[in-house]
Amino acid sequence: MSAFDDEQVRKVDAISARFTGTPGPLLPLLHAVQEELGFIPSAAIAQIAGALNISRAEVHGVVSFYHYFRQQAPGRHVLQLCRAEACQSVNGEATEMHAKQCLGADYQGVSADGQFTLEAAYCLGNCAAGPSMMIDGKLYGRVTPQRFDQILESWKVRQ
């Protein structure tokens, strides 16, 4: 669902209405839109800017600055790899390179089969068991390239 359809327009309008007039509404509004749609459609930026009476550049700047916000529809599952120092110090880079190769996607990309969106995380709070990753909120530690393959297979079975 990459086109910005009428239903998405209505949803963004409803979310915007909840935050209009509240102090500092932009970040909470963007979180709510992403929660509802799975991402922030580029066509929604002007709509959000208009609702909050701010510039499109300001909305775009926030969406593009924060790694958390997706600008395209995600895959069925969101896979986050920890890129923090603790995970990197225990060979996290090897797991990262392997994940990118297996998925055929870089960060913010979607695997060819549409199953996984790869995202960077800058600490998953599992430092003692790094390298770590999370899929749809389920945390995994000590993720070697071999363990990555096993975990990914278990998620593919869940389809």
- The mean pLDDT of 130-151, rounded to a whole number, is 97
Mean local confidence (pLDDT), 24-49: 96
Cα separation, 107 vs 133, whole angstroms: 13
The packing angle between helices 42-52 and 6-19, to 10°, is 30
Q: Containing H/E element for 116?
A: strand 116-121
Q: Looking at the predicted structure, is the pLDDT value of residue 1 above 60?
A: no
For residue 20, which amino acid is it? T
Q: Which two tokens stand for residue 134?
A: 């999370």
Residue 154 near residue 111, CB atoms below 8 Å:
no
pLDDT band at 159 (very low <50, low <70, confident <90, very high): low
At 3 the pLDDT is 65
The model scores a pTM over 0.85? no
Local structure of 15: helix, strand or coil: helix
H-helix or E-strand spanning residue 133: strand 133-135
Strands 133-135 and 138-140: antiparallel
State the average pLDDT for the chain.
Answer: 94
